[in-house]
């Protein structure tokens, strides 16, 4: 299983998303985002913003990083502050 986390305002768009998905050999954050598109189009639109970062097991990675069984995948919105 892969644990999905949505931080900040992304959590508002992720309401109703199953927090765990089955692992497959070909999964990447981009493919997981694309799987969410049909049932959660607003979340897909937010995740498609270029400022969104992905954390895999607490390390920032790219959208094409392989995701394996037992991983924690977090989607992080842009952060501003001073």
- Nearest CA to 51 out of 17, 12, 21, 9 is that of 9
What is the model's pLDDT at position 64? 97
Residue whose structure tokens are 């070909």: 26
What is the model's pLDDT at position 82? 54
- Nearest CA to 29 out of 70, 78, 66 is that of 66
Q: What is the pTM of this model?
A: 0.91
Token reading at 75: 């989607």
Residue whose structure tokens are 């270029």: 50
Over residues 19-38, the pLDDT tens digits come to: 999 999 899 999 999 999 98
Domains by residue range for the chain, with CATH: 2-76 (3.10.20.30)
What is the model's pLDDT at position 75? 97
């Amino acid at each position: 299983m892969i644990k999905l986390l949505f931080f900040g305002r992304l959590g508002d768009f992720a309401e109703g998303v199953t927090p765990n998905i089955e692992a497959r050999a070909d999964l990447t954050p981009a493919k997981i985002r694309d799987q969410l598109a049909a049932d959660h189009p607003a979340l897909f639109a937010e995740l498609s913003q270029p400022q969104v970062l992905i954390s895999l097991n607490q390390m920032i990675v790219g959208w094409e990083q392989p995701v394996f069984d037992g991983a924690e995948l977090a989607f992080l919105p842009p952060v501003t502050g001073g």
